[in-house]
Chain A
Amino acid sequence: MSKEILTGVYFMQGDIACAEGALAAGCKFFGGYPITPASEIAERMAERLPEVSGVYIQMEDELASIAAVVGSSWTGAKSMTATSGPGISLMQENIGYAVATETPCVLINVQRGGPSTGIPSIHLQGDIIQARRGSHGEYEMIALAPSSSQEMFDFTIDAFNLAEKYRTPVFILSDAFVGHMREEVIIPEPERIYRVPRKLPDSGTCGGKFRGFLDEDVAPMPIFGHGFKTHVTGSCHNDFGQRNVIDAEALDYYIKRLNSKISKHAHEIISVSQDVDGKEVALISYGSCYRAAREALNILEDEGIRQVGSFRLLTVWPFPRNQIQELARKVKSIIVLENNLGQITPYVEAAAGGQAEVIFLPPRVLGTLHDPATIVDKVKEVIR
């Protein structure tokens, strides 16, 4: 049996499944710092990485963790860190650095109750906008939102593949509920796990003459240790990595190229699952809220109410604007389920553009799963 891919059936915690997904994707470096509710990921990686010739290191803080992850990625290693909102807050500057230097890496945020220290073991989808816009400057982000232990495994593999394909950091927006929940996890045979390899320049290429940055279709990554003589900088730079901290035109080019690398390919990155054809009402959800949406749909179906469908964001970022625009033309009402005070709701409203009514529905008590009955009641109120 492959040590990287532990094929089999497990009863596994979401956090552990995430670590196994990372290893299955070929992760060879983990740099992190303990924090509830993400520490189980670090503990699993500490145990498992030496088995697969990888490196685990517990850094002195989260700023150092993301820095080490970026440094290791530049040597060619598939790298990740795992933390919660407070840790992400500390990492933000270097997350921007990873975006700017086009460094593939995976960032796991097992969200907890905030702001500030909040409640460590309670789940809140409080960091959705933080993932999108937490670092300074103008940039795009990719983020996936798993809702089960199995998806913690599957989506982490997807996150590594997206990170490699688009040479960019990718977020997993999990939460304390999904991270700590135990469920069945099926780890498939190695040949059924798809790994995107890193695109590298031809050997003999020299950094100074090589366009290793700012390609909308993703430049090969001139990683360290191959004589590429690469110059990597978080300052504004051109296609060759040469710094330019004088011209606004250079900044304009730098920002737009970095952004269009994601936005141009958004249709390939965005993943939604929907069953809304012929429906009147759509329940929009992501992450743990999707579980409540499904249960509400079961109850409604049992009661003979069939004009309601689900629209789930598997990727929260880039935002599925076009898909929601289309949804708004199909249904009369959209109910947005979020375990927060409405973070993606303004985006949904903007995409719906008045074509459908948009209703935000948080759980009665923030930090808990929606009671399916409250969703059912809201649906009945809407279709009345």
Chain B
Amino acid sequence: MKLVHPLMKYVRPGAISTATCTGCGDGIIAQAVLRAIDELELNIDDFVFVSGIGCAGWIPSPFFNADTLHTTHGRPIAFATGVKLARPDREVVVISGDGDLAAIGGNHLIHAARRNIGMTVICANNGIYGMTGGQVAPTTPLGLKTTTTPYGNVERAFDLCALTDAAGASYVARWTTYHARGLTRSVKKALTKRGFSFIEVISQCPLQYGRRTGVGNAVAMMKGYKENSLSVKKAASLSEEELKNKIIVGELVDKDMPELTEQIEKLRRIHE
């Protein structure tokens, strides 16, 4: 009997060989998203997956066997906003990287959160520009040497969860690729939220981050995630000093706010 992965039914026929490097975290994120859809028993034909440029943009495109819109660098949330506004009945999911969503596309991220438009944004955050060869990103830790910070990074890293929280997201969670189950749980939660959901996934790029920084291979990097992670609950009782260099994982925001497409629908009803 031929063994078939239970999530293969969601993979576009003929799109098997992925573009990702050995040990990349993107596969774990892809599985978490598809598993969430599977466990919620949702129809993948009701989804539109939107992604940008960078390795993580290839998570849904072309591999998910659904409507997929692979856009320009930085703009997937803006494209997805158009999709969601014109078809509010669709599940719109943006999956992209930290460079795409937080650097070149940072403005769209904060405005989508502010509008509280009903979409899920999953950010694979590897802290570096992987595809272009290991340049510094706005998410790169202070002091890290990259190909464009040969003397160490002098800029602070963005806290994307604090950013989207402040901008007004309904749901914000952070996980690492080590926390595949927690991540899947959060994706399920995000897909059932009415407003804007943001999930940051700290993800390993063994080639551009691990090798250059000396952290090591994918396994070593994921071990590091395990050791340095703290739950939201645990972190609450610790001082800033104790939280230094720690990754706080879990649900950071979960609230109900008026959703954009529902507000627009109300405007239309005035004229009926």
Q: Do chains A and B touch in the complex (CB under 8 A)?
A: yes
Taken together as a complex, chains A and B put the C-alpha atoms of A57 and B89 apart, in Å, by 18
Contact B108 A64 (CB under 8 A): yes
Closest residue of A by beta carbon distance from B63: A231
Residues of A contacting B107 in the complex (Cβ-Cβ under 8 angstroms): 60-61, 64
Least Cβ–Cβ distance between B4 and chain A, in angstroms: 18
Contact A230 B67 (CB under 8 A): yes
CB within 8 A of A233: which of B45, B62, B65, B271?
B62
Residues of B contacting A295 in the complex (Cβ-Cβ under 8 angstroms): none
Decide: A70 near B79, CB < 8 A? Known: A234-B70, A234-B72. yes
Least Cβ–Cβ distance between A176 and chain B, in angstroms: 27
Contact B85 A68 (CB under 8 A): yes
Residues of A contacting B68 in the complex (Cβ-Cβ under 8 angstroms): 230-232
Taken together as a complex, chains A and B put the C-alpha atoms of A192 and B198 apart, in Å, by 48
Interface size class of B (residues with CB under 8 A): 35 or more
Chain A 65-88 per-residue mask, 1 if CB under 8 angstroms from chain B, else 0:
101111111111101000000000
Contact B83 A224 (CB under 8 A): yes
Residues of A contacting B65 in the complex (Cβ-Cβ under 8 angstroms): 208, 229
- Tell me, yes or no, whether A122 is within 8 Å of chain B by CB: no
- Tell me, yes or no, whether B214 is within 8 Å of chain A by CB: no
- Tell me, yes or no, whether A94 is within 8 Å of chain B by CB: yes
Contact B62 A71 (CB under 8 A): no
Residues of A contacting B75 in the complex (Cβ-Cβ under 8 angstroms): 63-64, 67, 94
Residues of B contacting A93 in the complex (Cβ-Cβ under 8 angstroms): 72
Contact B82 A68 (CB under 8 A): yes
Contact B69 A71 (CB under 8 A): yes
State which residues 50-73 of B face A: CB under 8 Å: 50, 61-62, 65-72
Contact B78 A67 (CB under 8 A): yes
State which residues 18-68 of B face A: CB under 8 Å: 45-46, 48, 50, 61-62, 65-68
* Surface stretch bound by B, among A48-56, A301-309, A325-333: A48-56
Contact B111 A64 (CB under 8 A): yes
Taken together as a complex, chains A and B put the C-alpha atoms of A67 and B104 apart, in Å, by 14
Contact A57 B85 (CB under 8 A): yes
Decide: A71 near B50, CB < 8 A? Known: A31-B82, A231-B61. yes
Residues of B contacting A323 in the complex (Cβ-Cβ under 8 angstroms): none
Least Cβ–Cβ distance between B87 and chain A, in angstroms: 4
Residues of B contacting A79 in the complex (Cβ-Cβ under 8 angstroms): 82, 86
- Tell me, yes or no, whether A242 is within 8 Å of chain B by CB: yes
Contact B83 A50 (CB under 8 A): no
* Surface stretch bound by A, among B203-211, B238-246, B262-270: B262-270
B residues neighboring A (CB under 8 Å): 12-14, 45-46, 48, 50, 61-62, 65-72, 74-75, 78-87, 89-90, 107-108, 111, 264, 267-268, 270-271
18 contacts between A and B (CB under 8 A): A29-B85, A50-B268, A50-B271, A59-B81, A63-B74, A63-B78, A64-B108, A68-B85, A71-B83, A207-B67, A208-B14, A224-B67, A224-B83, A224-B90, A225-B90, A229-B45, A234-B70, A242-B14
